[in-house]
Amino acid sequence: MKTYTIEEITDEHIGKKGTTDRDRFDFELKLDVLGEMIKRVRLEKHLTQEQLGKLIGVQKAQISKIENNIKDVRLSTIMRVFYALKTKVKMSIEFNPDSQVEFTG
């Protein structure tokens, strides 16, 4: 029986890296992972969604949306969540000057 890596399966069913579908998939996956990380830390701190929401000044529904990647959330809100959870955040941004970025309105 042949085995496949996650990368091979993703390439075949979503598309190769650099394609629009794959870029969209990778982006959504990162948002899902971020939401799951927030949920995990919240639960480790024994906080309900309502309690975390009160700490940062939003409704419980907003915390649920963040954890479940239901809607776009401002970076400032995400940072307030991590601050309230007393969690250290490290960010890394890579820029490839050879790649073209297109903006459409």
pLDDT in tens, 43-83: 999 999 999 999 999 999 999 999 998 877 888 888 999 99
**What range does the domain containing 57 cover?**
6-84
Q: Is residue 54 one of the residues assigned to a domain?
A: yes
**For the whole model, what pTM was predicted?**
0.72
DSSP 71-94: S---HHHHHHHHHHTT--------
Task: Return the CATH number at 21.
Answer: 1.10.260.40
- The per-residue pLDDT for range 25-48, each reduced to its tens digit, is 998 898 899 999 999 999 999 999
Q: Is residue 89 one of the residues assigned to a domain?
A: no
- C-alpha to C-alpha distance for 7 and 11, rounded to whole angstroms: 6
Q: Is residue 101 one of the residues assigned to a domain?
A: no
Q: Is residue 37 one of the residues assigned to a domain?
A: yes
**51 to 6, 10, 42: CA distances (angstroms):** 37, 38, 10
Amino acid at 81: V
